[in-house]
Structure 1
Amino acid sequence: MATVLAIPAMKDLKVKYLDSILVSPSPMTEKRSLFLSNIDQILNYNIPTVHFFRANQDFPPEVAAKRLRIALEKVLVAYDFMAGRFKLNHQSGRLEIECNAAGAGFVVASSEYSLEDLGDFVYPNLGFRQLAVQILDTLGPENDQPLCVFQITSFKCGGFAIGMSMNHVLFDGIGAQTFMENLATQAFDDKPLSIIPSHNRHILAARSPPQVTSPHPEFFKPDIQPVSGPPVFDCKKEDLDYKIFKFTTKSIDNLKEKARSTETTTRISSLTVVAALIWRCKALSLPYDENRVSTLLNVIDIRSRLDPPLPNSFCGNAVLVSYSSAKCGDIEEGQFCNLAEMVAVGPKRVTDEYARSVIDWLEVNKGLPCGEYMVSSWLRLRFDEVVYPWGQPVYSGPVVSHRKDICWVFADVDGIYALVSLPVEEMERFESHFHKFFE
């Protein structure tokens, strides 16, 4: 059956920060400016993750920390933009990355606890924020801060965690997966990069002149355009409740059975039914209005949807959102198969021409995603399969943040997890609808 994992009491991991430095490419790289696509431009926010490792007698935390720092120096030669800083091109109003070798953040820390004290790693533990700091207090203004910070935290048991806080502008999930594989190779003595990254983000540049050939209700143009630079896709910080909704293999099969319809041949995947139920619970978690239209945004990879497809080595952001919209009354009273069908059909719209039209729309309107809730799937990302000299992570996953507009979906050995972050009253209604659906 589907279950809910609530947040545990532990919020302070008693972390002591021992060292905080900047790591630059070695050997040094040449200065250059990196073009950022319109997709990159709207993803200016941090994604923190944490990766836990059991004790390895050949690689105690201090040895792993040294290896990780050296690996970072080496891998930043191929990923020079990660050691750069944002620069606003005042002529175009666009963000660029100045690849100036200013450095990525590197933090060494220790906790008074052992890994066993933390319990189940999948819990959305607020204390995990201490394992992936996002800024370096030793630095000055925001424009001096690194675009990514790596942190290694040792535990009393000899195990350790590697936290990574990366600005989404750097790359999407698949790009991050490739980077981590490359980082791991450089922690060995004699391994080459697993794949040479492609920095050509001009592949996703707008056409000249822009050609908006489709309506794009999944985006909106802000009433007030920013004075300089692109608009920021973010939400205000407020007190949130965090819970993991676990879909077992059995509950997913149950959802697929409910989603079956004799009137369609559309393939209904596990992600489709999970996203459909998450959408239903989220739409009904707000004060009820049967005529209110709720829109779900589903993050999709466009690499294989373009013509020609993007190279596997592409390391920018190649993601867009598909949309599904319905009135809350229809969401509550309608059949689940109709909801699943809407979620499944959304990505089918995103062809090569549609994606190019989105990029051109963003060029003209400087807009942002427009939806009530967004589902971002990590099901294809294999962060826990990356092999370091000290082994594979026993758990890899997202760290809770202030984002109440995004649901992170990631894999479990016997099902799927959904990390939901909502204000308390909304969470109570969300959880109530979740449980009732399975009764």
Structure 2
Amino acid sequence: MAPPEALSGDGAFTVRRHQPELVSPAKPTPRELKPLSDIDDQDGLRFQIPFMHFYSHKASMKGKDPAQVIKKALSEALVFYYPFAGRLREGDGRKLMVDCNGEGVMFTEADADISLHQFGDTLQPPFPYFDELLYNVPGSQGVLNCPLLIIQVTRLQCGGFILAYRLNHTMSDGPGIVQFLNAVVEIAGGAREPSVAPVWRRELLSARDPPQITCTHREYEQIPSNYDPIWTQESIAHHSFFFGPKELEAIRQMFSSYNNGQYTTRFEALTAFLWRCRTKALQLEPSQEVRFMCISNVRGKSNPPVLPLGYYGNGFVYPAAVTTAGKLCENPFGYALELVKKAKAEATVEYMQSVADFMVTKGRPCFVMPGTWIVSDTSRLGFRGVDFGWGKAVYGGPATAGAGPFPGASYYAACENAKGEEGIVVPFYLPLSAMKRFIHELDRVLGQLEQLTSFSDSLASLS
């Protein structure tokens, strides 16, 4: 192995990074071409999505090196998940397939002279020193002919460590990557094989022959690509907002008079609340069309299930609710709630099959970006529960707002604040002026509910 290379992190600390290396399966694996599903290889998933897990020092693990523990278990887990060690190729009709060549995933180990507490009382995106904690290995950024996983383990001065990684999103969704990480965890703990056997079966979500588009897919409507009223030349702010149990219940109760006797989940209430506040902060023209897309997984939504236990491909769709900025902002909050519920309800197995047929028929297009806010709730997927022996992660989940090159997205992640309260953290990318108005709008509405969290202190960090 090459000697460590010193890197500075804004002068605040130093990272000593070893030469990146490829970690291959510990045993020979099949050499084959495995097509992705027609849900996997749509244009909107052709990017690498970053995640981070922060772990505290644990006295009982003294003398054990997390980088070596994870690297060894990773190599053994890749025997079962060998497609991750391959490379994507593109065939006719933009069809993606994995060349299972065993080349390996990219792995970097590093040491940083910084302690976990120096990252702040509440760990949430955006994370400081992100570029030092997940090294962008030259030539690794692409979708085709590049590693499908890029991993860095950084040991901290306090005895804790950070696991950061980028996943080629065409390979897996949130449940899929958590399943893979738990396989690494089990093998690190001494298991010979994962307790949940991985299932490829991507043909289950491939287009029918002939394709039959049976649903309306407004998430893929074609609108002028040069028209986007949200993302301007103004500087962009990246900020996260923590909602604890008190805030989440108060927001849900705020919608109780709008639910028409139906139960409203905390996700539905929080999402409707934030979508309306976000749209008001953007100050769009009243006639401007806006979209909300709800990432909805179809796992467990049919009997028998369409996706078997162990399936680790992408198993979600994102139906769109469409309205105008004027209608969304001028109507009561119940209007936004109705649209959120409607979008969620559209995510059926038939809808997913129709999306697969749509992809093949229309050339695998990207979703609509102008005027769009996409939400993915990862808070219940178990990212924080990934335990390599050092305990539950202090934070585990997506590392940023935005979906790769698409800034109009938010990932809900499970989080614990400085008071020890368990809640949800929601990151946003917004133009700076809109972010300031967004904070004011959150405080205005929450202030009318009860004495809840104020986000006004966030304004100082944006100036």
Same fold by TM-score greater than 0.5: yes
What is the match of residue 65 of structure 1?
Answer: 67
Q: How does 1:214-225 map to 2 (within 5 A)?
A: 214-221=215-222
What is the match of residue 409 of structure 1?
Answer: 412
**SS at structure 2 position matched to 1:257:** helix
Q: How does 1:249-328 map to 2 (within 5 A)?
A: 249-261=245-257, 264-306=260-302, 308-309=304-305, 310-328=307-325
Q: Structure 1 residues 132, 237: CA separation in 2 closer, same or farther (over 3 Å shift)?
A: farther
Deviation at 1:81, TM superposition (A): 1.0
2:271 and 2:112 mapped to 1: Cα distance? 36
1:294 and 1:10 mapped to 2: Cα distance? 39
Q: Structure 1 residues 380, 287: CA separation in 2 closer, same or farther (over 3 Å shift)?
A: same
Deviation at 1:140, TM superposition (A): 11
Provide Cα deviations, 1:198-254, integer angstroms capped at 9, x if missing partner.
011000000000001122112135889xxxxxxxxxx99995311111222222222
Retained in 1: the 8 A contact 2:88–2:145? no
2:287 and 2:212 mapped to 1: Cα distance? 34
Q: Which moved more, 1:11-20 or 1:205-214?
A: 11-20
Amino acid of the structure 2 residue aligned with 1:116: H
Provide Cα deviations, 1:390-425, integer angstroms capped at 9, x if missing partner.
333222132126642111111234322111122212
Retained in 2: the 8 A contact 1:39–1:359? yes
Q: Which moved more, 1:96-105 or 1:238-247?
A: 238-247
2:357 and 2:81 mapped to 1: Cα distance? 27
What is the match of residue 151 of structure 1?
Answer: 152
Q: Which moved more, 1:66-75 or 1:306-315?
A: 306-315
Q: How does 1:336-351 map to 2 (within 5 A)?
A: 336-351=333-348
Provide Cα deviations, 1:109-159, integer angstroms capped at 9, x if missing partner.
1112111222132252241342223x4238798755311111110111121
Amino acid of the structure 2 residue aligned with 1:435: D
What is the match of residue 368 of structure 1?
Answer: 366
2:145 and 2:74 mapped to 1: Cα distance? 19
1:420 pairs with 2:417? no
Retained in 2: the 8 A contact 1:305–1:351? yes
1:83 pairs with 2:88? no
What is the match of residue 106 of structure 1?
Answer: 107
2:211 and 2:183 mapped to 1: Cα distance? 36
Retained in 2: the 8 A contact 1:50–1:131? no
TM-score normalised by L of structure 1: 0.88
What is the match of residue 399 of structure 1?
Answer: 399
What is the match of residue 184 of structure 1?
Answer: 185
Retained in 1: the 8 A contact 2:200–2:311? yes
Retained in 2: the 8 A contact 1:49–1:132? no
Q: Which moved more, 1:171-180 or 1:45-54?
A: 45-54
Deviation at 1:61, TM superposition (A): 7.7
1:266 and 1:18 mapped to 2: Cα distance? 55
Say what the alpha-carbon RMSD is for the aligned residues.
2.6
Q: Which moved more, 1:135-144 or 1:181-190?
A: 135-144
Amino acid of the structure 2 residue aligned with 1:110: D
What is the match of residue 45 of structure 1?
Answer: 47
Retained in 2: the 8 A contact 1:122–1:397? no
Q: How does 1:228-243 map to 2 (within 5 A)?
A: 239-243=235-239
Retained in 1: the 8 A contact 2:55–2:392? yes
Provide Cα deviations, 1:4-54, integer angstroms capped at 9, x if missing partner.
xxxxx9896532212310000010212111211122112111111111122
Deviation at 1:318, TM superposition (A): 0.2
Retained in 2: the 8 A contact 1:181–1:194? no
1:256 and 1:140 mapped to 2: Cα distance? 40
What is the match of residue 3 of structure 1?
Answer: none
2:319 and 2:358 mapped to 1: Cα distance? 15
Gaps of 5+ in 1: 1-8, 225-234
1:407 and 1:162 mapped to 2: Cα distance? 21
2:330 and 2:272 mapped to 1: Cα distance? 14
Retained in 1: the 8 A contact 2:88–2:143? no
